[in-house]
Amino acid sequence: MAREKGSVILDKGLELQNVLFVPKLNCNLVSFLKLSKQLNDAMTFYDNCCVIYNRTSRTLIGAGEPREGIYYYNRLDFQ
């Protein structure tokens, strides 16, 4: 059950606001719909990854790799 609401920084320049804090959860779950609307980002899904990029500048932000039906965010080292 969510206890608090706040902000989380996933990566440099990638801050999500109005996120819910669940004390017993040991990872960040992100709604791609909220991410897209809040940051003006877009996602492209492939069979082996998900690519996140800024819709306006077309700058690559991050990627996710699927494991057991969930995409895990990978920080990009060249940013």
Residue range 4-47, pLDDT digits in tens: 888 888 776 678 888 888 888 877 777 778 777 877 788 899 98
* pLDDT(66) > 70: yes
The two structure tokens encoding residue 77: 């080292």
For residues 36 and 78, what is the distance between their CA atoms, to the nearest angstrom? 22
Residues 51-61: what's their mean pLDDT?
85
pLDDT tier at 76 (50, 70, 90 boundaries)?
Answer: low
End-to-end CA, the chain? 34
Domains in the chain: boundaries: 4-75
User: Is-contact 59 41, C-beta < 8 A?
Assistant: no
Residue 77, pLDDT score: 59
